[in-house]
Amino acid sequence: MKITQISVFLENKSGRLYDAVSLLGKKKINIRALTIAESEDYGILRLVVDKPALAAESLKKDGFVANITDIVAVEIADTPGGLAKVLGALSKDKIDVEYMYAFVEKQSGKALMVFRFENIDKAVRSLAKNKFVIVGKKEIQSL
């Protein structure tokens, strides 16, 4: 039920983000979702890709500081209030979201969001109980 996210530590230096994504391009790795968290002098690039193991290995080999984390991808109805429904259910079960971001692709009528939870197993149980659709590794690869 969990999917793999790659986090890359990037110092605030021009061209560094380009270096990272062009490396992935060269390795024919497709980016499905991404977000950047930033502070004054560095940022963390978070990515969901089709070949996470290869991506992490290539980045590390090229001198990037990269790490993999488990996240959860959830289908959300692409209608007003769709996201609120999911967050409402999680909040009721007292589950904190560390951060979240959206997928580039869209399945018809559905939006895809990824969530990072402090307690991932508890979050997955809550989502399943509330009948939300959790997207697995295979589906991400075939998107």
Partner 1 sequence: MNLFAKKEINFRDKDIETIGREELSDMQFASFMSTMRAALRTEFYKNRFAKIGITSREDIKSLDDLAKIPFTTKEDLREAYPSGLLAVGLEKVVRLHTSSGTTGSPTVIYHTQKDLDNWTELLMRGLTACGVTEKDVFQNMMTYGLFTGGLGLHYAAERLGALVIPAGSGNTRRQMQLMKDFRTTAVHVTPNYMLHIAGRIEELGFKLEELNLKKAFLGAEPFSENARKKIEKSFKIDVYNCYGLSEMNGPGVAMECVYKDGLHIWEDSYIVEIIDPATGKVLPDGQQGELVLTTLKREATPLLRYRTRDLATVFKGNCPCGRTHRRISRIMGRTDDMLIINGVNIFPSQIEEVLMKKPEVGTNYLIELNKRDELDRITIKVEIYAKLFHGSMKELEELRDQLKDELKSTMLVSADVEIHEPGSLPVYEGKAKRVIDNRSKE
Q: Point out which residues bind partner 1 (CB under 8 A).
A: 5, 7, 9-11, 13, 16, 37, 39, 41-42, 44, 46, 60, 63-69, 98
Q: Which is nearer to partner 1, 37 or 104 (CB)?
A: 37
**Least Å distance between CB 127 and partner 1?**
22
Q: Which is nearer to partner 1, 39 or 108 (CB)?
A: 39
Residue 142 DSSP code: T
**Least Å distance between CB 51 and partner 1?**
18
**Least Å distance between CB 60 and partner 1?**
8
* Angle of CA points 84, 96, 107, to nearest 5°: 45
DSSP string, 42-67: EEEEEEEES-HHHHHHHHHHTT-EEE
Q: Which is nearer to partner 1, 93 or 118 (CB)?
A: 118
* Tokens, residue 121: 């197993």
CB 45 within 8 A of CB 10: yes
Q: Which is nearer to partner 1, 56 or 112 (CB)?
A: 56
CA–CA distances in Å: residue 39 to residues 12, 43, 115: 9, 6, 21
**Least Å distance between CB 117 and partner 1?**
13
